[in-house]
Amino acid sequence: MIFDRTPLEKEFRQRIAVVRKILDATDITINSINAGSGIDISREGRGLSIVLLYAAYENLLKGVSRTLLESAAQLRVGNRRLKPNFQVFAIHSKLQALTNLSPAHIWKGSGRKVVDAVAERTCSINSNLFPNDGSHMKTKQVITFCEVYGLGAPATILGDAWGRINTVVSERNSVAHGQQTPEEVGRKYSIAEIRKLVDIWEARWCDFLADVEKKASSRDFYREPR
């Protein structure tokens, strides 16, 4: 199989399992020890869960990107045979170099190096690249990701998780940057609501991963036909 989602899905589900463990440990309705002691950190647990859902999603998307690029590189076709979206990754470093040059230098050889790189018979893809669009993992980033890799519109596959992405990102950022505490974020959710969100997050992102595997398991996903 060219693209194997198994390791990505395994790690993602493990991260989601950690979220559920935290919710179980801090839920005073099922944890008699905490309930008896009078210690209630359930809101903090729910707030921390949002941070971990974000981390699981970010890690998954970057893992998918890395696996797609590794899959393209392992086909052993040159840059010239790659589809244009993958060619951009192959010549990324040379494109970046152009931004630091004066216009004159572009015409005196640097621009030609980009053209030559596209025509190479070897593959120069850097699998550590990620098509970051500066939107900080909000829905716009997912759209950009899918457009760059030719995966189609993501909203339908992600279903009821799609409308939750920007909220999860914003609330995670507010905790990470000290604008809100985990307790303040967790106060916005009941335990039932956060557990439902966790279930949605796991199911829909795994659906997304399965869809990527289906589309990216053909050699023609990466290369132009002869």
Residue 187 in domain: yes
- pLDDT the model gives residue 32: 57
Residue 94 in domain: no
Average pLDDT over residues 135-149: 97
Higher pLDDT, 98 or 56: 56
Q: State the Cα–Cα distance between residues 153 and 216, nearest whole angstrom.
A: 15
Q: What percent of the chain has pLDDT over 70?
A: 95
Average pLDDT over residues 23-47: 80
With contact defined as beta carbons under 8 Å apart, do 174 and 127 qualify? no
Residue 103 in domain: no
With contact defined as beta carbons under 8 Å apart, do 3 and 69 qualify? no
Binned at pLDDT 50, 70 and 90, residue 100 comes out as confident
**Mean pLDDT computed over every residue of the chain:** 93
Express each pLDDT in 165-221 by its tens digit: 999 999 999 999 999 999 999 999 999 999 999 999 999 999 999 999 999 999 999
- Token pair belonging to 69: 């690029």
Residues of the domain holding 210: 6-77+123-221
- Give me the residues paired with residue 82 across strands: 223
Q: State the Cα–Cα distance between residues 32 and 37, nearest whole angstrom.
A: 8
With contact defined as beta carbons under 8 Å apart, do 137 and 57 qualify? yes
Binned at pLDDT 50, 70 and 90, residue 37 comes out as low
Residue 110 in domain: no
Residue 175 in domain: yes
Alpha helices by DSSP H, the chain: 6-26, 32-37, 42-73, 84-90, 92-98, 103-105, 111-118, 139-149, 155-158, 165-176, 182-186, 191-215
Binned at pLDDT 50, 70 and 90, residue 226 comes out as confident
Number of structural domains the chain divides into: 1
In the predicted structure, residue 36 carries a pLDDT above the cut 60: no
Express each pLDDT in 115-133 by its tens digit: 888 988 899 999 999 999 9
Residue 179 in domain: yes
For the whole model, what pTM was predicted?
0.92
Binned at pLDDT 50, 70 and 90, residue 38 comes out as low
Q: State the Cα–Cα distance between residues 145 and 154, nearest whole angstrom.
A: 9
Residue 159 in domain: yes
Distance of CA 182 to the CA centre of its chain: 23
Binned at pLDDT 50, 70 and 90, residue 74 comes out as very high
Place of tokens 């990216």: 216
Minimum mean pLDDT range among 34-43, 48-57, 195-204:
34-43
